Amino acid sequence: MRAPLCLLLLVAHAVDMLALNRRKKQVGTGLGGNCTGCIICSEENGCSTCQQRLFLFIRREGIRQYGKCLHDCPPGYFGIRGQEVNRCKKCGATCESCFSQDFCIRCKRRFYLYKGKCLPTCPPGTLAHQNTRECQERSSGQKKGRKDRRPRKDRKLDRRLDVRPRQPGLQP
């Protein structure tokens, strides 16, 4: 009597799992065709809840929005971990890439990075590095307009090596 009851429960459980799997497959193809990492996903809006370590990235297109679960947030966004959900949040308007809302890593065109902020010009006492678009502290010995001068010890060495015919009566 016990064996048929166990078999009946096993079959009922298998049927439930099969139905659940079919439902997930039907829902699993949203706008982007990918509900990977989602706990809750719909065809119209994509993911709305992600697995524990993933970030929910919401892409907006006009009045429509679509969610996707990602390991890392895309460029222009940073990840915020929360108790309920981990989200991707947009960087500030002048940031191309950021670590948080208040700390930029790379700036958009026409801005220079200085201590995590994107500024239109470098502050006094700094120089703009054109390749990296970063403001760099000016070294204490470096003055404006003196970039091309050689260090003092090189000039002394040149004087020592300077071999000119000496005039009689003059001391070296």
Task: Phi first, then psi: give them for residue 20, nearest 5 degrees.
Answer: -65, -40
User: What strands, in cross-sheet order, belong to the sheet with 117-119?
Assistant: 117-119, 112-114, 134-137, 126-129
Q: Is pLDDT at 79 greater than 50 in this prediction?
A: yes
What does the alpha-carbon distance between residue 158 and residue 167 come to, in Å, rounded to a whole number? 20
Question: Smallest Cα–Cα separation from 28: which of 14, 17, 38?
Answer: 38
Q: How confident is the model at residue 56 (pLDDT cuts 50, 70, 90)?
A: very high
Q: Is pLDDT at 37 greater than 80 in this prediction?
A: yes
Q: Is pLDDT at 134 greater than 90 in this prediction?
A: yes
The answer to whether the CB of 60 falls within 8 A of the CB of 54 is no
Q: CATH number for 34-89: choose from 3.30.1240.10, 2.10.220.10, 2.60.40.1730, 3.20.20.70.
A: 2.10.220.10
pTM, two decimals, is 0.58
Q: What whole-number percentage of the chain has pLDDT above 70?
A: 62
SS (H, E, C) 22-34: HHHHHHCCCCCCC
Point out the least confidently predicted range of 7-16, 39-48, 114-123.
Answer: 7-16
Q: Is pLDDT at 20 greater than 70 in this prediction?
A: no
Rg of the chain on CA atoms, in Å: 33
Work out the average pLDDT over 52-61. 92
Work out the average pLDDT over 134-155. 62
Work out the average pLDDT over 41-54. 91
Task: Phi first, then psi: give them for residue 154, nearest 5 degrees.
Answer: -65, -35
What pLDDT is stored for residue 27 in this prediction?
A: 38
The answer to whether the CB of 135 falls within 8 A of the CB of 118 is no
Point out the least confidently predicted range of 17-21, 68-72, 111-115, 139-143.
Answer: 17-21
What pLDDT is stored for residue 143 in this prediction?
A: 54
What pLDDT is stored for residue 12 in this prediction?
A: 55
**The tokens 């006094």 sit on which residue?**
124
Report domain extents, the chain.
34-89, 93-138
Tokens of 64: 């429509």
Work out the average pLDDT over 131-159. 63
The answer to whether the CB of 88 falls within 8 A of the CB of 77 is yes
Q: Answer whether CATH 2.10.220.10 is correct for domain 93-138.
A: yes
